[in-house]
Amino acid sequence: MLAGQLVEERVFSGPVSLGQSLHCALSVPVEGIPREHLLVSRDEGRFVLHVPRGMTGRVGADDAFVDVAAGQAVTLEHGARGKLVAGEATLLIQEIATPPAVPRPQLPASIRGTLADRIDRRLAGIIGGSLVVHIALAAYAWTGDVDERPLGAPPVAMYQEDVIDVQLPDLSEPPPVADPSPSQQPGVATPAAPQHQTPRPIVSRPSAPGPTQAVDSQRLANILTGGDSESGLGGMRSRQPGADLGKQIDEARNKQITIGDGGHTSRVDDRARPGTVDDRPIADNPQLVTHEEPRPEETRGRIIPGDVRPDDTTTLTPAIVLERINTLYMAGLKRCYRLGLAEDSTLGGRVKINFTVDERGKVIDPDASGVSSQVDGCVSKAMSGWRFPIPRKNGEPSETTFTVSLALQPS
């Protein structure tokens, strides 16, 4: 019951959990109730009531009732009933006998009818007639189909067959070879020296280019090295007649070249123009030396993450939390710190943030303290929009609380 009105009535045959978490059998979103608590357990066939913290009430059987307090375990007798109160929530408990299983309701046989009554006779006749017509058409096509070659007559009939008589020559049998007499036994023949033949070398003779290839080569050379004149693109001129290369090298070696003699240079106005930076004034006088005061740099804060302490061991490790804060949420923390630096340029210290990651990866109960009320409120508001991977404990989604210390330093 909430605020004196009945919200839900349920029957349980096993252990019952109570809390603000969605995984509890009785989820009650009221302050003062723990997040997850085992309210009723079973021990040797009897139910045991465990009163959570923040709740009081009375439990008893018949006319004997006793007061129960937080942290107390009470064994419920058969037929016992009780009442627990926590703020606006009121919980009524009663031990009852297990109700018998209710059979599934069924219609009478006269109303249900048979399978034949559920078939539409008109629709069944249309379907049956359609099947008969389709089967008859398929049978007619199968029996009346004649196998014919798609290309007409077979290819062998398109050619003329010629018969040629072939007469084989008469083969005579070879004469028999007489056996040699004992006096005509063959002697040992003198072995002959093997003859070595020197292989001829293979000489490849390139073929002379044809007249067409020579003309194309000359034309390509004129395009690459010539100009608009008859020599082609590039404007190459022929060598001067009678020029001596050695003499030209000696003249170039003995020629004196002066660099930086005050003559005309490649610049438009022959001035070096010192101080021509984009954000500085242009000095037209080459002899002028400018002195400028350094511009004050923008004060920027620096945030150093400290240690991370989780309340419970889950798949969401401190390393994952620090990486997510450094990569995704550090910009929001710096923005909050700059708000504090706008009022006090020497603002620094450590801010301690506490938050809980629920079963959906959302941050709940954010809290920040340690620097100033403005910075702490901005950080707490920014943490309400943080998201982390779902923490899992023993394969099930769970909740875990983290405490992070951040060092704020003006740089």
pLDDT tens, 357-379? Answer: 898 889 988 888 888 888 888 98
Burial class, 226, CB count within 10 angstroms (exposed 0-12 / middle 13-18 / buried 19+): middle
> What are the helix and strand counts (H, E) for the chain?
7, 15
Distance CA 352, CA 357 (A): 17
Burial class, 355, CB count within 10 angstroms (exposed 0-12 / middle 13-18 / buried 19+): buried
Which CATH number characterizes residue 377's domain?
3.30.1150
Structural domain includes residue 192: no
Collect all residues with Cβ–Cβ distance below 8 Å to 58 and sequence separation of at least 6: 65, 66, 67, 68, 82, 83
User: Can you give the residue range of the structural domain that contains 50?
Assistant: 16-94
Distance CA 59, CA 57 (A): 7
pLDDT at 301: 47
Structural domain includes residue 362: yes
Stretches where the chain sits below pLDDT 50 are: 231, 233-236, 275-276, 298-301
Nearest to 358 by CA among 38, 52, 22: 22
Structural domain includes residue 395: yes
Distance CA 52, CA 35 (A): 11
Structural domain includes residue 290: no
pLDDT at 80: 83
Which CATH number characterizes residue 47's domain?
2.60.200.20
What are the CA-CA distances from residue 42 to residues 20, 73, 91, 234 (Å)?
22, 12, 19, 104
Distance CA 143, CA 348 (A): 99
Q: Please identify, among 75, 94, 113, the residue that sits at the C-terminal boundary of a domain.
A: 94
Q: Please identify, among 94, 128, 160, the residue that sits at the C-terminal boundary of a domain.
A: 94
pLDDT at 166: 81
pLDDT at 144: 83
Q: At what angle do helices 373-383 and 330-343 cross, to 10 degrees?
A: 160
Task: Say how many residues make up the chain.
Answer: 411
Q: Please identify, among 68, 94, 120, the residue that sits at the C-terminal boundary of a domain.
A: 94
The answer to whether the CB of 40 falls within 8 A of the CB of 14 is: no
Structural domain includes residue 320: yes
Distance CA 38, CA 31 (A): 17
pLDDT at 179: 61
Tokens of 119: 């078939």
Distance CA 40, CA 95 (A): 11
If one counts the domains in the chain, the total is 2
Distance CA 354, CA 370 (A): 12
Strand-by-strand arrangement of the 349-357 sheet: 301-310, 400-410, 349-357, 363-369
In the DSSP assignment, the letter for residue 361 is S
Detail the DSSP E strand segments found in 212-287: none
The residue whose two tokens read 């077979």 is 154
Distance CA 182, CA 317 (A): 109
pLDDT at 252: 80
Distance CA 72, CA 250 (A): 115
Query: DSSP per residue over 112-162, as a string?
Result: H--TGGGS-HHHHHHHHHHHHHHHHHHHHHHHH-----TTSS-GGGGS---
Collect all residues with Cβ–Cβ distance below 8 Å to 76 and sequence separation of at least 6: 40, 46, 47, 48, 49, 59, 61, 82, 93, 95
Structural domain includes residue 234: no
Structural domain includes residue 399: yes
Structural domain includes residue 22: yes
Collect all residues with Cβ–Cβ distance below 8 Å to 233 and sequence separation of at least 6: 223, 224, 226, 227
pLDDT at 300: 46
The residue whose two tokens read 């045991």 is 48
| Chain centre distance of CA 51 | 48
